Amino acid sequence: MPAAHRAFFDGLLTHYQTPDCICVHAGVHPSLPATDLQVHPRDSLVWGVREFPDAYDGAEVVVYGHWNNAKLSADDWPMPRIVGQTVGIDTIAHGVLTAMRFPDRRLYQSARYATRELDR
């Protein structure tokens, strides 16, 4: 990989924090303070830990993806999984891209795309 590409990837943020929420790819480690994300191992933010989101009991709202754990409505529509102060917005496996606006938590979702097995 060219050095410039490696530098780009190394410079990416592992999280983004606002007064309303913490946005992170795979969640936070429940035994560490969510407001001090510098102490979290990078792997826990990027790949997650088994205990998240169920064991998270922090006061800060944590918005995450990665887990493919959408809640399906009665009509089979994927919705964010909300557990305590966590909001899982990974719905793409169901053909829907999801985003949430803060502080009002307004939900934005794409139209459903057909999901299919990739040709091998």
pLDDT tens, residue by residue, 37-95:
888 888 999 999 999 999 999 999 999 999 999 999 999 999 999 999 999 999 999 99
Q: Where are the domains of the chain?
A: 3-109
Nearest of 74, 75, 76, 106 to residue 91 by alpha carbon: 76
Q: Please give the average per-residue pLDDT across 11-40, as a whole number.
A: 91
Q: What is the pLDDT of residue 34?
A: 86
Q: What is the pLDDT of residue 35?
A: 84
Nearest of 50, 55, 48 to residue 28 by alpha carbon: 48
Phi/psi for 86 (5° steps) reads -110, 145
CA atoms within 13 A on the CB side of 116: 5
Indicate the class that CATH gives domain 3-109.
alpha beta
Q: What is the pLDDT of residue 115?
A: 63
Q: Which residue did the predictor score with more confidence, 22 or 38?
A: 22
- The residues, ordered by sequence, that sit 6+ positions from 52 with a Cβ below 8 Å of its Cβ are 26, 27, 28, 29, 30, 64, 86
Model confidence, pTM:
0.86
